[in-house]
Chain A
């Protein structure tokens, strides 16, 4: 019987040390550690994320895919800056860089712009991954496409994107929307070009990818005030200038829920909280198992987990 852990004792110790450093980092900055429920009545309606559900005597509940909604309810209640270290779950996300159950650091800074948050995230990751020693690179989504593939993601047609994928020798089987073609080129060509010795921040995603972030006009195109941070091709986190307009948020969530394969109820308590007054803030979710993987310069995500999904 295979009972032994997938992580080494060294990896377990490194995780404990990382969490201590993170807690000290936030304590020094006056950011409060909080806990929110993992099982809730409403779920994540993002059509590209699948939730696990659990039957309870009080009806179906969903395991959170991030603690985003309840943490924003705390912000609306006047908590001020908050962070949380917790387990989250996403169905069907299994592979070399994914485990369906994983550890997340999510935090919110009241009054921060997303540019200020990027700066702070760079400092945090510098601490968590000591061998990073050069300045981070910041690119817009458009700049990344222009530099690496020579096309403008806000203007390119499906035909142009499909032709580009073919030129890059991506053998794709099936049909895709314009945004999904961009996703394909991004995951196969652009992520692969990021340097492995310094952080890459990508910001200003197309407005269709805004999720719960604010949007702004950039050269005549609506873009999301959202960023992702990478080390090499590995995505470590996803940050927003938080949308604080409850009507806009409700429209996004209801539209997403219609496209969801699962029948997931929209979190109306979250919308009510934002309507009551969520402060201007920036927030980010970071993958702690991946950060640990970078810290130890290891290859297999499973070697960071005490027991990987297959033997959990």
Chain B
């Protein structure tokens, strides 16, 4: 199995720790004036989503996880599985279980290009595009001219997600949303 030396550590590198795949969130090099140097690393368990801190002696090697990120287009849902197709021209398809989808489900309508993280070719997690544009299907009528008060109200989107929007927004309008925070960014004309 290939492995990585601590000097290769950087955010996003995938490691095998105690039989589980992890991704590096943050890597810090620490060293007393004289003496042993360490890598103090925040890693996220790709199966459970839990983030923990671990320390290695600088220069040690850690087994690499056979985890790859692939750009894949969301096609459709069938039964409990969500189907994706590779965008690299191979037309390969995979089915991701709901456990891999998590919050991504809230933002997908179809045809969005997502990052599917595969471990031994099985989808572990699905990351939606950072920004999506979705239509409001239900919200209280907009208050005309109220562009300054800064107040918000809930709106239900076509995917079923609920986001806070400014008071002047109306049904059938399209929003741009940051999926990392789940927040409204702007109105799309």
Query: A residues touching B (Cβ–Cβ < 8 Å)?
Result: 46, 48, 92-98, 170-174, 176-177, 179-180, 182-184, 186-188, 191, 205, 209, 211, 226, 228, 235, 238, 261
| Contact between chains at B33 and A235 (CB < 8 Å) | yes
Given A92-B7, A94-B29, A98-B29: A183 touches B36 (CB 8 Å cut-off): yes
Interface 9-mer from B50-58, B135-143, B152-160: B50-58
| Contact between chains at B29 and A93 (CB < 8 Å) | yes
Interface string of B26-48 (1 = CB under 8 A from A): 01111111111110100000000
Interface flag for B60 (CB, 8 Å):
yes
- 4 further A-B contacts with Cβ under 8 Å, apart from A173-B54, A179-B36, A191-B32, are A92-B59, A93-B29, A170-B55, A187-B30
| Contact between chains at B33 and A174 (CB < 8 Å) | no
Residues of B within 8 A of A188 (CB): 30, 40, 55
Interface flag for B185 (CB, 8 Å):
no
Q: Which of B50-80 contact A (CB under 8 A)?
A: 52-60, 62
A229 smallest CB distance to B (angstroms): 10
B2 smallest CB distance to A (angstroms): 18
Assembly CA distance A182 to B55 (angstroms): 14
| Contact between chains at B38 and A95 (CB < 8 Å) | no
Interface residues on B, range: 20 to 34
Minimum-distance CB pairs A-B, first 9? A95-B29, A180-B36, A183-B35, A183-B36, A238-B33, A187-B30, A171-B54, A172-B55, A228-B33
B144 smallest CB distance to A (angstroms): 45
Residues of A within 8 A of B37 (CB): 48, 92-93
B4 smallest CB distance to A (angstroms): 13
List 27 A-B residue pairs with CB atoms under 8 Å apart, sorted by A's residue number.
Answer: A92-B58, A93-B31, A95-B27, A95-B30, A98-B29, A171-B53, A171-B54, A171-B55, A172-B55, A173-B60, A174-B57, A179-B35, A182-B35, A183-B36, A184-B36, A184-B38, A184-B55, A186-B32, A187-B30, A187-B38, A187-B40, A188-B30, A191-B32, A228-B32, A228-B33, A238-B33, A261-B59
